[in-house]
Structure 1
């Protein structure tokens, strides 16, 4: 999908090699839309397999390759005070260069495989916990709030648009009524009359928190612009309602009084008491 969407914006992504792919991503830049390249990278890398820890004795050499870094064999580590995976890598490297004597269990392939599986599991759980923490704090932030923000379409689905709010880094579905929108599967666009919504389109959306189910609170995305009758959100506030009244311009020229229609707030206008 990223390839098709990039073509629609006039860019060709070369996926023949990872180096060519990286180069074509770097070249996909639209002046005046600095966030476009970031969106394209999100779409292009989202489908890639996540890197995991593994013991070299349990995989074939062609599985060692790291696509994103263009490395045939790769490991990563930082200070061993940070993660247990770093401690293990330091111990193995020290044993390889003869700087230290390692424990026999680290040279056991089955033991190393079980250790890697546990590290991968813990890493995934930490990611889930991080996402849950972000969701919780997001819900706290938007409690009893309404925000109108700029958004960009990440993907077009059969019944919704997947949108991203750059200001907050939030992503979610903007559902579209099936009685007003028609989904074009070949071009991956949503059509309502003269309005065509596609990937990378810039929108304005309304963000609110749905707390109707306290155990499953969720952010609600609602279209504001482009304006579509019966779909787009329109703020209705009785205090902001205005009506047109005829006001005489007493500063008119000598040719005669100049009349104009002004919009005034009828609610704030107070009646003067008669003396």
Structure 2
């Protein structure tokens, strides 16, 4: 039996069905790096149902901060999916890159870290909701989005809208204002919270935004934005009209 060739061997398709490489962490990270922004829409829908059915189990302060986290999901979805085009706005308009805006200074590797590192910052303020300075810092972070998208990027790009500005103005700003008013009216803020919140905001902002971009910036980065990502909201054509030196 051992020396005979069986007439019923496994097919190549059957043998290829289990790919060990597909289960390695590196494979899953690559998948997440290329598709993370779609999960923000899923997370928002899940959060809506969770808060609708179980929101009464958390404190009012926690509920406000959870809604602010959900606003972050909407903000990221607006930037990267619908209408999308946010990465090009960041590279070409905010940072003023005229040539390698498909990968410099931000690329897929750095941008996935920028957006993912925001989650533990937001979640920490929810878990430790008694640390009002953390909640304030979270709200300030949303206000930074309002300034960045509503003023800086619109002024630099000479536009009235850029991907991310709607969620910043309609969600981050009112939720942040409501949180500050709520904790102020209920006497939950100590004098030191104002100082600690500013320190937390500056520290978190540095770690979340410029640090990953500086660590991974490379004009020859092997992680450029895809054509699909750049063409969303017609951003590629808009940028190319003002940057004729960039070729396909």
Q: TM-score range by the shorter chain?
A: under 0.3
Q: Say which structure is richer in strand.
A: 1
| TM-score normalised by the chain length of structure 1 | 0.20
TM-score (norm 2): 0.21
- Whichever structure has more helix as a proportion of its residues is 2
With CA pairs under 8 Å and 6+ residues apart, which has the higher RCO, 1 or 2?
2
